[in-house]
């Protein structure tokens, strides 16, 4: 079983979007998009491994540790 560290809020860029996990928002110029906290955590996990495939199991383990998650999530 892999051991992961908890996600640490930080600011980073994807394309021309500024991602601010601690504020649950993305911004690009005057455009501002707010995300739900779990959606932001999913984005962080995916951004940590650009170009890699993240399995559903790894994603669930990192974003919803110890919780049963249906495919609807």
CB 13 within 8 A of CB 69: no
Q: pTM for this one?
A: 0.78
Predicted confidence at residue 46, as pLDDT, reads 92
CB 56 within 8 A of CB 18: no
Predicted confidence at residue 1, as pLDDT, reads 46
pLDDT at residue 55 above 90? yes
- β-bridge partners, 18: 13, 27
pLDDT digits (tens, 9 = 90+) for 3-44: 445 555 588 888 999 999 999 999 999 999 999 999 999 999
Predicted confidence at residue 59, as pLDDT, reads 92
């Amino acid at each position: 079983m892999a051991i992961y560290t908890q996600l640490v809020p930080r600011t980073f860029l994807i394309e021309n979007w500024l991602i601010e996990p601690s504020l649950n928002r993305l911004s690009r110029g005057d455009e501002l998009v707010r995300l739900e906290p779990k959606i932001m955590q999913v984005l962080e996990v995916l951004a940590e491994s650009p170009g890699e495939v993240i399995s559903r199991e790894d994603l669930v383990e990192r974003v919803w540790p110890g919780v049963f998650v249906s495919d609807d999530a």
